[in-house]
Amino acid sequence: MTMNAATSPIRLERLSYVVDSVRVLDDIDLRVQPGEIVGVMGRSGTGKTTLLRLIMGLIAPTAGRVYINGTDITGLDEPELDEVRIDMGMVFQGAALFDSMTVAENIALPLVEHRRRAGGDRARWVAELLEMVAMSGSEDRLPAQLSGGMRKRVGIARALALEPHIMLYDEPTAGLDPISAAAIDNLIQHLRERVGVTSIIVSHAVRSLRRVCDRAAVLHEGRFLALAPIVELETSSDAAVRQFLSGASEGPMTERGQQ
Ligand SMILES: Nc1ncnc2c1ncn2[C@@H]1O[C@H](COP(=O)(O)OP(=O)(O)OP(=O)(O)O)[C@@H](O)[C@H]1O
Ligand SMILES: [Mg+2]
């Protein structure tokens, strides 16, 4: 495949996802620029995780297309999807670690699957990944022995194992103390600066998104209410966007405020 600098790492075209006759995502368009960090906000159950799963090719859209590095992934078979996914890391909302495996084994899983960095090199790389998420020396611990925030950071280390150029984060800082959260924010920016990683971050942490993202979107009733730099969203003429960013309980986003 030929790729040029203008190829968008992630492009969504009229993407829709319907499940149980609910239109979770409705005709979404998005073009993420190389190295861009895009935030996605939205109330619980609005389809943020679904959006990331579609981008990873874990579920198939009802309609529309997902292009990764210029390749339309809708309709690819599993081996083809695996190839595309090598360049993508996903940090799952609940970390999704294997409880019976140590931290090191969890992180090394993608390396084993793709036969990368055998022997001592693998152990060194796992140690380096743990250092990146401020968890040095945790190789032999089991997920059950870790706090929620620590599990999340192991999930990030695992997502980075194959050095992907695309990272999808599902609430990467939820449940973390402010200092650990800031460290994750810094890591996301560092990956962009050092390797040009392109990221989508699902998060409710408006302050953190303001620090990290180039643009942010508010997902509501299957659509992006807005997609712009956060500072612009905060002064948006759309009252629903402003309500979401300020966290007000009443307004156009909540039914009681509809009238
Ligand atoms: N496989 C499925 N079967 C049935 N409904 C589903 C399925 N996947 C998603 N949904 C529905 O799609 C909607 C969006 O779910 P999703 O998990 O994407 O929301 P979310 O924005 O990530 O929420 P949260 O902030 O709580 O994590 C929900 O109403 C959910 O019930
Ligand atoms: Mg979710």
Condensed to tens digits (0 to 9), the pLDDT of residues 141-179 reads 999 999 888 898 999 999 999 999 999 999 998 888 888
Does residue 256 register a pLDDT over 70?
A: no
Question: Is 117 a domain residue?
Answer: no
Domain-embedded: residue 19 = yes
Mean pLDDT of the chain: 90
| pLDDT reading at 208 higher than 90 | no
The ligand minimizing its distance to the Cα of 58 is 1
> Does the pLDDT of residue 1 top 60, yes or no?
no
Distance 40 CA to ligand 2 centre (A): 11
In a domain, 48, yes or no: yes
- Asked whether residue 119 is assigned to any structural domain, the reply reads no
- Would 227 be classed as within a structural domain? yes
Position 124 scores a pLDDT of: 94
Tell me the CATH number at 201: 3.40.50.300
Closest residue CA from atom 31 of ligand 1: 45
Pairing label, strands 223-228, 215-220: antiparallel
Name the residue type at position 178: P
User: Is 112 inside any structural domain?
Assistant: no
- Ligand nearest to the Cα of 40, by number: 1
> What amino acid occupies position 190?
H
Centroid of ligand 2 to alpha carbon of 53 (angstroms): 10
Residue 15 counted as domain residue? yes
Residue 230's pLDDT band, with cuts at 50, 70 and 90, is: confident
Question: Can you give the pLDDT at residue 243?
Answer: 83
Low-confidence winner among 126-130, 167-171, 251-255 (lowest mean pLDDT)? 251-255
Question: Quick one: which atom of ligand 1 is closest to the CA of 47?
Answer: 18
Count: domains in the chain: 1
The span from the CA of 134 to the CA of 151, in Å, is 12
Question: Which tens digit of pLDDT belongs to each residue from 70-98?
Answer: 999 998 999 999 999 999 999 998 878 99
Residue 148, in any domain of the structure? no
Within 6 A (CB) of ligand 1 lie: 19-20, 24, 42, 44-50, 93
pTM of the predicted protein model: 0.91
- Lowest average pLDDT, out of 3-12, 20-29, 122-131, goes to 3-12
Q: Atom of ligand 1 at shortest distance to CA of 171?
A: 27
Domain span at residue 34? 10-87+164-257
Tell me which of 23, 48, 59, 225 to substitute to probe ligand 1's pocket, judged by most ligand atoms within 8 Å of the beta carbon.
48
Higher per-residue confidence, 120 vs 221: 221
CA 249 to CA 103: how far, in whole Å?
40
Structure tokens at 184: 């994750």
Cβ contacts of 96 within 8 Å, gap of 6 or more: 155
Asked if 57 and 84 count as a contact pair (C-beta separation under 8 A), the reply is yes
> pLDDT at position 116, please?
87
**Predicted pLDDT at 250:** 78
Distance 246 CA to ligand 2 centre (A): 20
Calpha distance 210→207 (Å, rounded): 5
Task: Please report the pLDDT score of residue 2 as a whole number.
Answer: 52
